[in-house]
């Protein structure tokens, strides 16, 4: 298999779902429940992949559509995702399926949230259905960004289930990683040559004031927790999680070596400042130190950070795939420059000997950006959320050009 040039999406961000926990969480979704209408016009959207010239597509399945109620499986929803896989394969595009991308059926998160051990059995029933249905798929992501779910859903409480408790968050993470381990085995038992990973969000970290010892310590602790702890857990089978001013949580988990490649999502650098009035005394800030500007979400554009996180991830000794990288901006020129600079870094890293097997731009079309709603424009294709019309940006054309002109590896 050559280098995977792809784009990434997630089901809920394109399709919405009447049965998902996020739907009752955010008012924006009441006004725009179908979001981009992708659930109904997916065939047209998949044609865009050929137009772009990508050879891979990462997408997710929406659990709440497949299992809207605890005792009800919707076969037509499973068929929908199976159709997507068939269309991709028929068109020579390698599918990469994400099983869990932040959302849950409402019944699950109410009755069996991740910090309850009963969540494991319920989730695995869903995984089994998906894997059996999509057994032609070789590349799998079990969980997208477990740490984002942990921080948003269990520490900050800004995502469902809206809990704010450190101990509970660690319990939830442990159950998620146990599910990863079980899903890893299950996928391998059904799919010959399967390649299974998680997609881990990694960031570059810096102290807000370089000479402030508190800022420096915080940024070290954050980096160790956010970037390193999960990698170490996959290497050793022991999860060690340390939050500022909390005792370290240590737990043995059955995940040692259970990664066939490492899915790396990278967007930005975070500047950390000690602030006694903030949760865990951490204030996150963005600043434009490289002079590349900030994105529409205010995030710093920092391509160099990608090399740093690739270096960290390479400790795992498995191939790396950049499973997400992208920018929210209405300015196509800025999108092009962001993409080029990050792909340049990937190319240089490959030349330096890092084993990188693919790059997925986030995202194919504009979509629902969680806490920021519909304003953050990550798409290579612009979406009019009223008429559902898609329109290519010049960044789409530029990505096609990059794909055809670069030889990676």
Residues that bind ligand BGC (CB under 6 A): 10, 13, 144-145, 148, 201, 265, 324, 362, 369
Q: Which of residues 148 and 284 has its CB atom nearest to ligand BGC in the complex?
A: 148
Nearest CA to 56 out of 35, 23, 85, 31 is that of 85
Q: Which of residues 178 and 327 has its CB atom nearest to ligand BGC in the complex?
A: 327
Q: Which of residues 274 and 390 has its CB atom nearest to ligand BGC in the complex?
A: 390
Q: Which of residues 123 and 378 has its CB atom nearest to ligand BGC in the complex?
A: 378
Q: Smallest distance from the beta carbon of 46 to ligand BGC, in angstroms?
A: 19
Q: Smallest distance from the beta carbon of 29 to ligand BGC, in angstroms?
A: 15
Q: Smallest distance from the beta carbon of 144 to ligand BGC, in angstroms?
A: 5
Per DSSP bridges, beta strands 238-241 and 282-285 are unpaired
Q: Which of residues 101 and 191 has its CB atom nearest to ligand BGC in the complex?
A: 101
Give CA–CA dist 28/137, Å, rounded.
Answer: 33
Q: Smallest distance from the beta carbon of 145 to ligand BGC, in angstroms?
A: 5
Q: Smallest distance from the beta carbon of 276 to ligand BGC, in angstroms?
A: 29
Q: Smallest distance from the beta carbon of 398 to ligand BGC, in angstroms?
A: 20
Q: Which of residues 145 and 307 has its CB atom nearest to ligand BGC in the complex?
A: 145
């Amino acid at each position: 298999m050559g280098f995977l040039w792809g784009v990434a999406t997630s089901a809920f961000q394109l399709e919405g779902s009447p049965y998902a926990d996020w739907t009752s969480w955010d008012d924006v979704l009441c006004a725009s429940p179908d979001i981009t209408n992708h659930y109904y016009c997916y065939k047209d959207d998949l044609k865009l992949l050929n137009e772009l010239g990508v050879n891979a597509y990462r997408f997710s399945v929406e659990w709440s559509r497949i299992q809207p109620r605890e005792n009800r499986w919707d076969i037509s929803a499973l068929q929908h995702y199976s159709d997507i896989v068939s269309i991709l394969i028929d068109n020579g595009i390698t599918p990469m399926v994400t099983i869990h991308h932040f959302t849950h059926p409402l019944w699950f998160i109410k009755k069996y949230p991740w910090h309850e051990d009963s969540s494991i059995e319920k989730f695995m029933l869903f995984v089994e259905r998906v894997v059996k249905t999509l057994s032609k798929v070789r590349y799998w992501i079990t969980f997208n960004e477990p740490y984002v779910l942990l921080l948003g859903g269990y520490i900050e409480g800004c995502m469902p289930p809206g809990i704010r408790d450190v101990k509970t968050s660690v319990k939830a993470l442990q159950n998620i990683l146990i599910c990863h381990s079980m899903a890893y085995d299950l996928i391998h038992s059904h799919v010959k040559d399967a390649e299974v990973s998680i997609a881990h969000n990694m960031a570059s970290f810096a102290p807000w004031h370089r000479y402030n010892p508190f800022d420096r310590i915080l940024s070290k602790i954050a980096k160790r927790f956010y970037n390193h702890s999960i990698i170490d857990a996959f290497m050793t089978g022991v999860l060690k999680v340390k939050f500022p001013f909390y005792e370290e949580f240590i737990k043995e988990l059955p995940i040692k070596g259970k990664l066939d490649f490492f899915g790396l999502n990278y967007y930005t650098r975070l500047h950390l400042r000690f602030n006694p009035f903030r949760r865990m005394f951490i204030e996150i800030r963005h600043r434009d130190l490289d002079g590349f500007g900030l994105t529409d979400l205010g995030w710093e554009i920092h391509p160099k950070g990608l090399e740093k996180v690739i270096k960290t991830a390479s400790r795992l000794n498995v191939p790396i795939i950049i499973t997400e990288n992208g920018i929210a901006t209405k300015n196509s020129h800025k999108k092009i420059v962001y993409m080029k600079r990050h792909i340049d870094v990937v190319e240089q890293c490959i030349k330096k000997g890092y084993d990188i097997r693919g790059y997925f731009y986030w995202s194919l079309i504009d979509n629902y950006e969680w806490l920021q709603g519909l304003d953050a424009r990550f798409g290579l294709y612009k979406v009019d959320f009223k008429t559902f019309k898609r329109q290519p940006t010049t960044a789409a054309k530029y990505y096609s050009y990059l794909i055809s002109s670069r030889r990676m590896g």
